[in-house]
């Protein structure tokens, strides 16, 4: 087998190391800040229902470093794993309100899962404390529950909405395009879908809000229920 030309060996090795670096840190381009409507999460949850908390307000699901080319790629990166001791009592009490585990009573377990799966991919930008503090601040900056209420979009078992009915007041309030995620309505799988999550997007530094691209989310032309 021919040896690499010495003049080529360095660039080739450097490129290989660069690729390893990219893969281990999980490069990302922007953040998706995902808030969930707990009643929908609980309704579709496979966890024991006696522990569900279907709170009637949007709560944090996660802050996901993301890539346009592959929205689901960046996850489970190498890096420091979740350390509960780094969550100060003050931060803990804030997260218990903004980021509860609505499927079980162990909030810490949910934070651990989200950090290990997503937070580890943006550690070069936000360490564990910053990741959770920034997420809480994002949650505080727009009250999705109240924005929808102000537009007369309140939980109802009968009313149905178009995607734009729900998108529009959020877009007006945040001045950026959000995107909505839905779940198939188990009672009417072909005729309606349940509003599950509202995503707002932030730049690489998690500071400036940007327009989201509407990727997989709700189905087109299927009515949305919010209940
Ligand atoms: C993100 O997208 C870029 C450009 O397509 C790609 O090079 C990189 O590998 C992707 N990273 C991840 C973690 O998917
Ligand atoms: C809650 O989850 C954390 C993280 O997985 C774990 O360390 C802790 O023991 C759990 N607490 C209870 C009461 O199960
Ligand atoms: C995170 O970074 C901030 C700012 O650099 C620093 O003050 C803090 O100690 C770091 N926290 C952790 C848990 O690493
Ligand atoms: C939004 O308002 C509701 C009640 O009006 C409250 O329960 C919830 O905690 C608020 N959320 C935020 C992000 O302030
Ligand atoms: C509430 O709704 C009105 C119009 O119905 C709108 O002008 C206003 O910006 C809304 N406020 C918020 C906080 O969404
Ligand atoms: C929903 O639509 C699929 C195909 O489009 C059909 O096979 C199925 O029977 C329908 N289900 C109901 C409950 O109408
Ligand atoms: C998403 O939006 C970004 C920024 O506007 C753009 O560069 C990118 O091409 C878009 N990607 C897709 C898949 O639409």
Per-residue pLDDT of 70-109, as tens digits, reads 666 668 898 899 999 999 999 999 999 999 999 999 999 9
Beta carbon of 88 within 6 Å of any ligand 3 atom:
no
Do the domain assignments include residue 15? no
Do the domain assignments include residue 18? no
Do the domain assignments include residue 181? yes
* Residue 20 confidence (pLDDT): 45
Last residue of a domain, one of 117, 141, 165: 141
Residue nearest to atom 2 of ligand 5 (CA): 150
Do the domain assignments include residue 55? yes
CA-nearest of 148, 152, 219 to 188 is 219
> Are 83 and 153 in the same domain?
no
Last residue of a domain, one of 91, 111, 141: 141
Report how far ligand 6's centroid is from the alpha carbon of 161 (Å).
21
Q: CA-CA distance, 107 to 145, in Å (whole number)?
A: 21
Last residue of a domain, one of 79, 111, 141: 141
Is there a contact between 91 and 132 (Cβ–Cβ < 8 Å)? Answer: yes
Please state the domain count of the chain: 2
* Residue 27 confidence (pLDDT): 85
> Are 68 and 121 in the same domain?
yes
Domain residues for the domain of 175 are 146-227
Do the domain assignments include residue 21? no
Q: CA-CA distance, 154 to 196, in Å (whole number)?
A: 14
Q: Domain containing 83 — which CATH number?
A: 3.90.730.10
> Are 51 and 129 in the same domain?
yes
Beta carbon of 26 within 6 Å of any ligand 1 atom:
yes
Closest listed ligand to the CA of 32: 7
> Are 198 and 162 in the same domain?
yes
Closest listed ligand to the CA of 147: 5
DSSP codes joined into one string, 156-193: -SS--B-HHHHHHHHHHHHSS--EEEEEE-TTSTTTEE
pLDDT 10s digits, 152-208: 999 999 999 999 999 999 999 999 999 999 999 998 888 899 999 999 999 999 999
Do the domain assignments include residue 4? no
Closest listed ligand to the CA of 68: 7
21 pLDDT higher than 80:
no
Give catalytic residues, as residue numbers: 61, 114, 118
Do the domain assignments include residue 69? yes
> Are 137 and 162 in the same domain?
no
Residue nearest to atom 4 of ligand 6 (CA): 190
Beta carbon of 189 within 6 Å of any ligand 6 atom:
yes
Do the domain assignments include residue 13? no
Report how far ligand 2's centroid is from the alpha carbon of 112 (Å).
9
> Are 60 and 125 in the same domain?
yes
> Are 43 and 132 in the same domain?
yes
Beta carbon of 186 within 6 Å of any ligand 6 atom:
no
Beta carbon of 164 within 6 Å of any ligand 6 atom:
no
């Amino acid at each position: 087998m021919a040896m690499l030309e010495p003049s080529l060996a360095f660039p080739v090795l450097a490129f290989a190391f660069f690729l390893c670096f990219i893969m281990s840190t999980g490069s990302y381009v922007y953040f998706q800040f995902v808030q969930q409507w707990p009643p929908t999460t609980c309704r579709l949850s496979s966890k024991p229902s006696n522990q569900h908390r279907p709170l009637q307000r949007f709560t944090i699901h996660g802050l996901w470093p993301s890539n346009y080319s592959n929205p689901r790629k960046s996850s489970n990166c190498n890096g420091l794993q979740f350390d509960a001791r780094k969550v100060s009592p003050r931060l803990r009490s804030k997260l218990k309100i903004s980021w509860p585990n609505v499927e079980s009573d162990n909030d810490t377990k949910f934070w651990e899962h989200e950090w290990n799966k997503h937070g580890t991919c943006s550690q070069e930008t936000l360490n564990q404390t910053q990741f959770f503090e920034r997420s809480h601040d994002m949650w505080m900056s727009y009250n999705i529950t109240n924005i929808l209420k102000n537009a007369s979009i309140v939980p109802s078992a009968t009313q149905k909405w178009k995607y734009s009915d729900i998108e529009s007041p959020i877009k007006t309030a945040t001045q950026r395009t959000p995107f909505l995620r839905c779940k198939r309505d188990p009672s009417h799988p072909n005729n309606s879908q349940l509003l599950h999550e509202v995503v707002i997007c932030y730049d690489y530094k998690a500071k400036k809000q940007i327009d989201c691209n509407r990727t997989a989310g709700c189905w087109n032309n299927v009515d949305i229920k919010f209940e």
